[in-house]
Amino acid sequence: MTRQFQHLATMEALPIVQLVSTGGTIAMKRDPASGAPIPTIDGYDLLRSVPEIINFANVEVLNHSNMASAYLGPPEWIKLTRQIESTLKRSEVSGVVISHGTDSLEEAAYWLDLTVNADKPVVLIGAQRHASESDSDGPRNLLSAVRVAVDSESCGKGILVAMNNQIGAARDIVKTHTMNVESFKCGDFGFLGSIDPDRVVYSRCPQRRQHIPILAEDMPLVEIVSMYGGCDGAAMQDAVRRGARGVVVQALGLGNVNKPLFEAIKSAIASGVVVVISSKVPNGRVLPSYGFEGGGKTLQDVGAIFADDLGPAKARILLMLLLQSIEATPSELQAAFSR
């Protein structure tokens, strides 16, 4: 059920923003029995914690779900995409704010950036400190997100993340610290802008965006396999045995693996599995540079795709969506990752 919080004197003048609550730390309070935070509050509770929000928008609340974001994946993301697209088709809605757990916020943001086809602002928020803590960052992030969602400069920038007074692009944003409120960063290229006390300020626009429609209820199986010292390639072999259509390799450096994993990758590609090379290094692109067995050049030579600067989790999301079409060629797949 959707309800609207509004002040009658300003109802006609203020834009409408829908708050979609999905759970996460921002929706958690300490359980008296266990002493640990659990999902407890909903979108209405969160909205009541920010009374000044009525100065910026009339906010509708949709309690989509209430769970830890570690539980979320493609089935839930598909539902969220459809909910957001349905909401944004309403002419009176200016934008959408999604409250979400920070554990998988960057994955959800990138999924939505690829699948939601709309120019109106969609802004994700979360919290590093749950609602029982006196300095919880949830209310501030909600106010910031609503301000971003009603700002005309936010249109056409894709899915945005508003945390700690900073605005990040979905493709770039990454959680970098387990606890600090200054956790979400945007790699080499930095934030898009900031939410200052007087106004929202943008310094750049995201350029590397693409739209991929959802074609199936069930996404193809894509696994992530990590390269590490002494890796024997067994995880890659297991992924192939379990029917993976694609595997993302969290490689080393510019995109390098050892001989056992290289042999497993060759075998996987020969059997029709798409292998995408990413890196465990947080910044920079992977490139087919090195010529030793298992080096990037040899991986390219056997048909591996390179993920550019996407980390393994986001590379997996892009590959899942691309593999909905069985007609995608290696060159088309590489072009999508390089876009």
In a 13 Å sphere around the CA of 74, the CA atoms on its Cβ side amount to 18
* Rounded-to-integer distance, Cα 139 and Cα 146, Å: 11
Cα distances from 67 to residues 40, 80, 189, 242, in angstroms, run: 9, 14, 32, 28
Name residues whose C-beta falls within 8 Å of residue 152's C-beta, 6 or more positions apart in sequence: none
Answer for the pair 146, 57: CB distance below 8 angstroms, yes or no.
yes
Quote the tokens at residue 253: 């450096």
Specify burial of residue 194 (Cβ count, 10 A radius: 0-12, 13-18, 19+).
middle
Q: How many residues does the chain have?
A: 339
Q: Smallest Cα–Cα separation from 54: which of 15, 87, 21?
A: 15
Specify burial of residue 203 (Cβ count, 10 A radius: 0-12, 13-18, 19+).
exposed
DSSP state of 252: B
**176: annotated active-site residue:** no
The one catalytic residue among 22, 25, 81, 298 = 25
Active site residues: 25
